[in-house]
Structure 1
Amino acid sequence: MNLTKLASVQLVLWNICRQYNQDPETIFRAAQLDPELMYQPGARYPLDKVALLWEEAAERIKDPCFGLAAATNWHPTHFGTLGYALLMSQSLRITLERLLRFHKVLSEARFGKIDEDKDKKTLVFTLTYRDEKPYPQSREDAALAWIMSTLRINFHHNLTPVSVCFSHPRPVCAGKYYEFFQGPITFDAPAAGLALPLKLVDVPLPGANEELAEFNDQAMSRYLATLSDNSWATRVRKLIMENLPSGSITVEKAASKLNVSTRKLQRLLKEEGTTFLSLLNTTRMKLAKEYVQQDNMDLTEIAFLLGFSELSTFSRSFKRWTGQSPIQYRQAA
């Protein structure tokens, strides 16, 4: 089974390479990864190639602590819908639970677990990367630095972990770890992870918006449901969902993103018993029904999300699909 990782996540490493005055494109090409894929929504890299990418970066950067730079080189968009959902979570506990629940959006490899230590009064997050051995020091450092950065954005910049553990030996630049995490650190531990005070993990967060977070959760659930299905219809459907708000998805653009000719894509879809237009209409109709049933969503906003330039055009299409206007459908739901 060829496991994959969301390509845009590697924009973090791209930024780190630039911070260290290294040419990121050279490093990506050396790992046989196309940098352009990071800018294509939903595009994924093979996990084994990502491992090579980080090894190549480590060889060129030379700083054994460079993974910690992930804390200042990430943006929510690098992590797709999950990046924003994490920042809208109601508590630190829910932030970590959401990360584990939807981690496959980022990587199909197993990632972590959460446990409560009642005796020490801590919530413990442990990295578990059984699908990715050996797991280089730099990626372990980057994962925990990014998670800690996310938790601090959600809670407060001075959030301090009770403890942090790394499975690798103590590096010569260990001072950077203490400077960033501001808490007790153990190297050569059986597993990597961090522990948070139990008294803080359920405190309501100031930036929480569970309504929007759940909306993003639904989008991620739909994405995960299709992740293992690699049919051409599913791949086109993903592109349609990702590009509908721009209103610019066409069969020609879909073919270009999938690196096939328009004629070949049409033939492949025909072999699977469908067409681009059929996929576009059924995807729009399915999403339209879901969105209209949500009272908090404005109809003009829904029209935009589905790629319609005007509300009137959306309303006519919706009535053709359901026999009811959007308002009638919402009232009957």
Structure 2
Amino acid sequence: MNNHRKLFVQNLLAYAVQRDVSAQLLCSLSGIDMELLQKSGEFEPTPKQMNDLWVNACHVSNDQLFGLHFGESLQLTALGVVGDIIKSSSTIGEAVTLSTKLTHLLTDLFHIDLARTNETFTMHFIPHASEKEKPSFSFLQTIDFFMVFVIHEMNGLLLTKLKPVSVCFPHTVSDINEYERVLRCRPVKKPGEYSITFSNRLWDEPVITHNYELQTLLLKKINDELPSANRESYRSKVYNYLLTNSYLGLVSLEEIAANFNVSARWMQRKLKEEGVSYQQVADDIRKSLALYYLNAGNYPVKEISYLLGYNEISAFSRAFKRWTGTTPVGYQKGNKS
């Protein structure tokens, strides 16, 4: 998995070289060991190294829109397996769906949610928690890169020129005319929104490089690279772990992620792909345990509330009523009658 990010850094440096910027200089300024980067094997840039790399690339090239222009120049083949999977999709809809699921291989700064209506489909770039209040320089450059890359490389999958219906940013862009040229659409300011919207007519358009057999092999390769814990249903694994270890109390997302040897962000993404959040799984456990304790008949409601991690009985009562339609006391009375 680390090799995808290594490839991304290598491509960024290669683009910088085309802009007459020394790759060695950028690595030196950003604290990246260029020899290690060039060797075979894993390489995982730290968040600080990536932020410094973007900052220095913009400064040395004298281009504050470096990410935007990098995205315009890069081709899908430069992303290795990820690019090959997207190219081998059967339709634009499938290519977009797969690309949103593979984003985490390239960055931890955001994920992409896909929304469709009868008229359009929209790719929403959702910042992770640490980037929502005060986005890092790296985040802003990476968002620019991905937005233009999506547009230009989707275009390479078709025989017609692609143009978005709309592009939204939560801030005013620095050079709106250049953004309009590269994104093929004049960006608009919309609070809290990084998104690209396309006509739904594109969804079923066939991809000219479609290769089902190749895609199947490549998806298997990607799956084989993931930790084994990630290949099974995370919902059931998390549920079973919480239930089996309920005597320890309900642990935090960070603690259970550490138990599975993955990051909390990774776990959040995997659960979201399965249509559930960690909070929902934890609530399912709380409901099961609450019913167990109440049915046992020898646990006071106050003690059950404490066992389930609620600081106040009122909070537990509200949650229980949401789950069952009645209060814990009402449930106990119903069982006695």
**Shared fold (TM-score greater than 0.5)?**
yes
Which residue of the partner structure matches residue 47 of structure 1?
A: 47
Which residue of the partner structure matches residue 219 of structure 1?
A: 221
Q: Is the 8 A contact 2:3 2:41 kept in 1?
A: no
Paired residue type of 1:219: K
Change (3 A) 1:108 1:180: closer
1:101 counterpart = 2:101: yes
SS in 1 for 2:226: helix
CA distance in structure 2 between the aligned counterparts of 1:59 and 1:125, rounded to whole angstroms? 30
Q: Is the 8 A contact 1:28 1:35 kept in 2?
A: yes
Change (3 A) 1:5 1:89: closer
1:152-196 per-position Cα deviation (integer Å, ceiling 9, x unaligned) = 11124611111112233221x322221122224214642212111
1:100-145 per-position Cα deviation (integer Å, ceiling 9, x unaligned) = 2222322345421101134xx1100011121552243322211111
Deviation at 1:74, TM superposition (A): 2.2
Q: Is the 8 A contact 2:4 2:106 kept in 1?
A: yes
Change (3 A) 1:29 1:73: farther
- Choose from 124, 127, 148 the match for 2:122: 124
Deviation at 1:209, TM superposition (A): 1.0
CA distance in structure 2 between the aligned counterparts of 1:189 and 1:156, rounded to whole angstroms? 34
Paired residue type of 2:150: I
Change (3 A) 1:7 1:38: farther
CA distance in structure 2 between the aligned counterparts of 1:226 and 1:73, rounded to whole angstroms? 35
SS in 2 for 1:111: strand
Change (3 A) 1:40 1:108: farther
Uncovered stretches (5+) of structure 1, i.e. residues with no partner: 229-333
Which residue of the partner structure matches residue 11 of structure 1?
A: 10
- Choose from 163, 166, 169 the match for 2:166: 163
Change (3 A) 1:66 1:99: same
1:143 counterpart = 2:142: no
Which residue of the partner structure matches residue 61 of structure 1?
A: 61
Which residue of the partner structure matches residue 25 of structure 2?
A: 26
CA distance in structure 2 between the aligned counterparts of 1:135 and 1:92, rounded to whole angstroms? 31
Change (3 A) 1:76 1:22: same
Paired residue type of 1:208: H
1:71 counterpart = 2:71: yes
Change (3 A) 1:112 1:174: same
Which residue of the partner structure matches residue 187 of structure 2?
A: 185
Which residue of the partner structure matches residue 283 of structure 2?
A: none
1:11-67 per-position Cα deviation (integer Å, ceiling 9, x unaligned) = 332133223322222112211112342563553222332122112222223322222
Q: Could you say which structure has the higher helix fraction? A: 2
Paired residue type of 2:11: V
Q: Is the 8 A contact 1:7 1:38 kept in 2?
A: no
Uncovered stretches (5+) of structure 2, i.e. residues with no partner: 231-337
Q: Report how many aligned residue pairs link the two structures.
A: 223
The worse-fitting range, judged by mean Cα deviation, of 194-203 and 14-23 is 14-23
Q: Is the 8 A contact 1:105 1:224 kept in 2?
A: no
Deviation at 1:218, TM superposition (A): 0.6
Change (3 A) 1:96 1:105: same
Q: Is the 8 A contact 1:10 1:38 kept in 2?
A: no
Q: CA RMSD in A?
A: 2.6
Q: TM-score, normalised by structure 2?
A: 0.59
* Higher Cα radius of gyration: 2
1:228-259 per-position Cα deviation (integer Å, ceiling 9, x unaligned) = 9xxxxxxxxxxxxxxxxxxxxxxxxxxxxxxx
Paired residue type of 2:211: N
Q: TM-score, normalised by structure 1?
A: 0.60
CA distance in structure 2 between the aligned counterparts of 1:142 and 1:67, rounded to whole angstroms? 5
Structure 1 ranges of 4+ moved more than 4 A: none
Q: Is the 8 A contact 1:11 1:78 kept in 2?
A: no
